Amino acid sequence: MSDLHPTRPRTILRGISSRAWEHPADRGALVALRKLQGFDVVVRKLSGLINERMVKMLLLGSAVRVSERQFPTVHRLYVEAATTLDVQELPDLFVAASPILNASTIGMDAPKIVLNSALIDLLDEDELRFVLGHELGHALSGHALYQTLLIYLMIAGQTLSSVPFGGVGLFVVRTALGEWARKAELSGDRAGLLATQDVAVAVRVQMKLASGGHLDQLDQTEFLAQAREYENTDNLGDSLMKIFLLDSMTHPMGVVRAAELRRWIDSGQYGAYLAGEYPRRENDKDATISDEAAAAADSYATSFQQSEDAATKLLRDVGQGIGNVGRWIGDQFKGS
């Protein structure tokens, strides 16, 4: 792991709430679940034998716990990311030997972050700080708790798939939770950007993950143009294929994640947060389900209206056509 880019001073976001980086669709679900008393107890019951002690012992026995003496550079970057996000209590961080480019946040009562060794080999310090900030975002939002429910529903869905109609209800719930999980990853990316406070770094991470690290062979402008081509395909068959592909994914595709971050930055929200205008933890209790649900609905509506994807355009045109017919019928009755 090398640091080819000079470290820039970062603004410490004191008292920042996780609501600041949560995507509207993610935040709406989280606020609702946080208001639902006893939900965490239900999820823990569903977890059965898999508990915090098992996770802890597995990591202690098979991975390396990061500290000032073990992976000291990773530890320093982790503390820096946590300081920037004003984290009150650091989750344990482990490095696991794996060639897979991935990191994860697991556990419920005491979330733990696991960083695969392949990422340390691939990323420079700024990029690694982004990944650590991403995972801290998951931990602070409580995603580990709620994603456990998705995992168990997926397992249950496979078990019930052979039972006639048995998996239909679970399929609907799993699809909804899968969509939420993908939005939760976008939330993590925003937390990662706030932790590193370097837009080029955030996009660079997605480029490296998509290419396996061949950054010298890539161009950021063309990479983002590729994202636009994926999102705005004018072929209906391609649009339907995207829907089928996403159903089995818990993470958005890399080019899409880069484009989503770019849109969030262009919205002005990221700049406002760095200027000190962000939600505070002290006001979390005042967050209402209705406001967050409205924000989520507005987010989906805006995406629907602005999308150039063939399937979305077709639905939009059909909706507009039905609306025009409705207005025409209304005019006929008015004239009679």
Name the least confident of 39-43, 75-79, 133-137, 160-164.
160-164
- Domain coordinates in residue numbering, the chain: 18-324
The position carrying tokens 């059909």 is: 318
Share above pLDDT 70 across residues of the chain, in percent, rounded to a whole number: 59
What is the 8-class DSSP label of residue 64? Answer: E
pLDDT at 188 (0 to 100): 95
Share above pLDDT 90 across residues of the chain, in percent, rounded to a whole number: 39
Which tens digit of pLDDT belongs to each residue from 246-269? 666 666 778 888 988 998 999 999
Q: Active-site residue numbers?
A: 135
**Separation of alpha carbons 72 and 267, rounded Å:** 37
**Separation of alpha carbons 57 and 55, rounded Å:** 6
Quote the mean pLDDT of the chain. Answer: 76
Facing residues of 116 across strands? Answer: 96
HEC string of 93-111? EEEECCCCCCEEEECCCCC
**Separation of alpha carbons 240 and 58, rounded Å:** 41
**Separation of alpha carbons 36 and 54, rounded Å:** 27
pLDDT at 122 (0 to 100): 95
- Long-range pairs for 204-210: beta carbons < 8 A, 24 or more residues apart: 204/127, 205/123, 205/127, 205/130, 205/131, 206/254, 206/255, 206/257, 206/258, 206/261, 207/254, 207/258, 208/122, 208/123, 208/127, 209/101, 209/254, 210/254, 210/255
Which tens digit of pLDDT belongs to each residue from 193-213? 999 999 999 999 999 998 988
pLDDT at 128 (0 to 100): 97
**Separation of alpha carbons 312 and 309, rounded Å:** 5
DSSP run (H or E) holding 244:
helix 236-247
Comparing C-alpha atoms, which of 211, 200, 234 is closest to residue 308?
234
Q: Tell me the whole-structure pTM to 2 decimals.
A: 0.75
**Separation of alpha carbons 254 and 190, rounded Å:** 14
Q: Which residue has the higher pLDDT, 287 or 267?
A: 267
Phi and psi for 283 in degrees, rounded to 5?
Answer: -105, 5
pLDDT at 4 (0 to 100): 45
- Per the structure block, which two tokens stand in for 98? 């794996």
Which tens digit of pLDDT belongs to each residue from 69-97? 999 999 999 999 999 999 989 999 999 99
Which tens digit of pLDDT belongs to each residue from 99-138? 999 999 987 677 899 999 999 999 999 999 999 999 999 9
Name the least confident of 112-126, 232-246, 322-336.
322-336
